[in-house]
Amino acid sequence: MMHRFASALFALVASLPTASAAGPAKDHHVILVSIDGFPAYLWADPTLQLPNLRKLAATGASAKAMTVSNPSITWINHTTLVTGVEPRTHGVLFNGLLVRPAGGKPPVIEQWAPKDKMVFAPALYDLAHRAELTTAESDWVAVTDADSITWSFAELPKLGDPVVKEMIAAGVATEEEIGWMQMGPNRKGVAFLDAMWTRAAIHMLETHKPNLLLYHTLNTDATHHNYGPRSGPGSTALELADRYIGDLLAAADRVGLREKTTVVVATDHGFKKVSKFVQPNVALRQAGLARGLGPSISSCDAYVMGQGGMGFVYVTSPEKRAALLPQLKELFSKMEGIAQVIDGEEGPRLGMPKPGENPGMGDLVLYAADGYAIRKELNGDQVVLPAENYAGTHGYLNSDPELDGIFIASGAGIKKGVVLDRVRNLDVAPTLAKLMGLAFPKTDGRVLEEILE
């Protein structure tokens, strides 16, 4: 029998290395695809034409549902997918970094903050890079200036980026097309952006053969926001995303990588239909707690950063917090379109931090009722108004089945024909790490042993 101390020491030492006993798998490849805003209930719809995804599932493993993280928002869940830890630990709570200015000003979101300033847990690409495996990303998020990503084609690619230069030199993209991806009046629609991100993913796969490729498509999310899930445009967008995955897999075939590649297709969050907006900042202005003209607040005692199905409430001055929180709770509890008001201190119960642990965490968390989307804007004097040109959103509690996402794993190392009832997005990173001969020092998920050969 192993001595108790020796056993504890053994457990400690076993938890330390970030590569498994067999060592990093240098002749193995992983492609992690995220189709933004693809709900599990649409994966279950047999009328959707998704031949590439159906084939991956039939020749591999899939889940009927994947639990996502709170808040059920894009950057938060992409970060969970690659770190295997809750947002309380990885730190991302917005599509960007929330910055709280002093002096009664509303917080702002700094979208392109460097990864090191916003992600506080090691990611799969960090582990891979440390083990001298190569990494690549196309439109992955919360990865700005990450030096553990070998080849990057960013959400906002620049003409000077090495991968962009390669693509232009190879005739795979033009300067004009890169120009159409920049913010401003010349930026084209998301369907065009997806086409570019797909071309970049294919280019990097063919020319660099990275051990890990992260690839994210966004058109499905944009279309579900504008037209709603279960709409004609929404279904068409999902079918186009399937086609892009087919193009990527064909590229893996062309360069002889397919047999050595594991493909995982997941999403960041599901989607719900919406018909009304809630503007809690209008109510704050009416209560004398916020001041501003037109669509924005210039100074305030409290502010709501809406994220669709949820919103974080911030008291801007710490000395006013104790007096204001009961008043704010009462105000929001009575508000049409608000289903729940949760104290920020209860964050850990939902996988989120407490306000003292992360400046982005709200003092209160608002959850929208079905059919409502919370937003920060002040459009007129109405707290609730009809949503125009807007038909769907996400952000609601992850316990709502409509927020469940998809999970498909196929290829090298994956059993054929496994269908699980449910996985968690927390399980994706530890499972991929194991396939790559790596291991996370700490994870809130688990290796999905039942899908591994």
Task: Pick the stretch among 170-178, 186-194, 195-203, 262-270 that binds Zn ion (CB under 5 A).
Answer: 262-270
Q: From the CB of 394, what's the least distance to Zn ion, in Å?
A: 7
Least distance from Zn ion to the Cβ atom of residue 279, Å:
22
Report, in Å, the least distance between residue 222 CB and Zn ion.
9
Residue 177 in contact with Zn ion, rule: CB under 5 A: no
Between 332 and 396, whose beta carbon lies closer to Zn ion?
A: 396
Supply φ then ψ for residue 406, to 5 degrees: -100, 155
Complex with Zn ion: residue 25 or 40, whichever CB lies closer = 40
Beta strand pairing call for 371-374 and 135-138: unpaired
The least CB distance from residue 142 to Zn ion, in Å, is 12
Nearer to Zn ion, 36 or 126 (CB): 36
Residue 310's nearest CA partner among 426, 403, 445 is 403
Shortest Å, Cβ 78 to Zn ion: 8
The correct pick among 36, 139, 177, 402 for binding Zn ion (CB under 5 A) is 36
Minimum CB separation of residue 95 from Zn ion in Å reads: 8
Query: In this complex, which beta carbon is closest to Zn ion, that of residue 151 or of residue 407?
Result: 407
Question: How many Å is the maximal CA-CA distance in the chain?
Answer: 73
How many residues touch Zn ion (CB under 5 A)?
Answer: 5
Which span (35-43, 137-145, 182-190, 441-449) binds Zn ion, by CB under 5 A? 35-43
Structure-token pair, residue 289: 């707690």
DSSP string computed for 181-245: TSSSTT---HHHHHHHHHHHHHHHHHHH--SEEEEEE-HHHHHHHHH-TTSHHHHHHHHHHHHHH
Residue 33 Cα to chain centre, angstroms: 11
- How far lies 430's CA from each of 5, 20, 56, 442, 448, in Å? 27, 12, 21, 9, 8
Q: With respect to Zn ion, which residue has the nearer C-beta, 308 or 355?
A: 308
Q: Could you tell me the two tokens for 405?
A: 């996402």
196: its two tokens:
């570019």
**Residue 35 or 196 with smaller CB distance to Zn ion:** 35
Contacts of 29 (CB under 8 A, 6+ apart): 209, 210, 211, 212, 213, 252, 257, 260, 261, 262, 412
In three-state form (DSSP H/G/I as H, E/B as E, the rest C), the secondary structure along 71-96 is: CCCHHHHHHHHHHCCCHHHHCCCECE
Nearer residue to Zn ion within complex by CB, 204 or 403:
403
Residue tagged 């509690």 (tokens)? 397
Comparison of 34 and 358: residue with beta carbon closer to Zn ion? 34
| In the complex, minimum distance from the CB of residue 303 to Zn ion, in angstroms, rounded to a whole number | 23
Binding span for Zn ion by CB under 5 A among 80-88, 141-149, 213-221, 411-419: 213-221
* Min separation Cβ 37 and Zn ion, Å: 5
> Cβ-closest residue to Zn ion?
74
* Residue among 384, 396, 287 nearest 336 (CA): 384
Stretch 285-344 residues interacting with Zn ion (CB under 5 A):
none
Q: What string of DSSP letters covers 245-297?
A: HHHHHHHHHHTT-GGGEEEEEE-S---EEEEEEE-HHHHHHHTTSEE-STTS-
Ramachandran quadrant class, 326 (left: phi over 0; alpha: psi -120 to 50; beta: rest): alpha
Smallest distance from Zn ion to CB 269, Å:
6
Distance CA 93, CA 73 (A): 8
Among 52, 70, 74, 211, binds Zn ion (CB under 5 A): 74
For residue 88, the minimal CB distance to Zn ion (Å) is 20
- Taking the least distance from each CB to Zn ion, the nearer of 241 and 284 is 241
Nearer to Zn ion, 142 or 282 (CB): 142
Shortest Å distance, C-beta 46 to Zn ion: 24
Alpha carbon distance 221, 235 (integer Å): 11
* Touching Zn ion, residues 227-256 (CB under 5 A): none
Q: Which stretch binds Zn ion (CB under 5 A): 10-18, 137-145, 261-269, 351-359?
A: 261-269
The full DSSP string for 312-357 is EEEESSGGGHHHHHHHHHHHHHTSTTEEEEEEGGGGGGGT---TTT
Site string for Zn ion, 350-369 (x = CB under 5 A): --------------------
Cα 210 from Cα 258, distance rounded (Å): 13
Residue 86 lies near Zn ion (rule: CB under 5 A) = no
Q: Please report whether residue 221 would count as binding Zn ion according to CB under 5 A.
A: yes
Residue from 268, 301, 402, 404 binding Zn ion (CB under 5 A): 268
- Listed ranges 40-48, 67-75, 351-359, 433-441: which one lies at the site for Zn ion (CB under 5 A): 67-75
Binding site for Zn ion (CB under 5 A): 36-37, 74, 221, 268
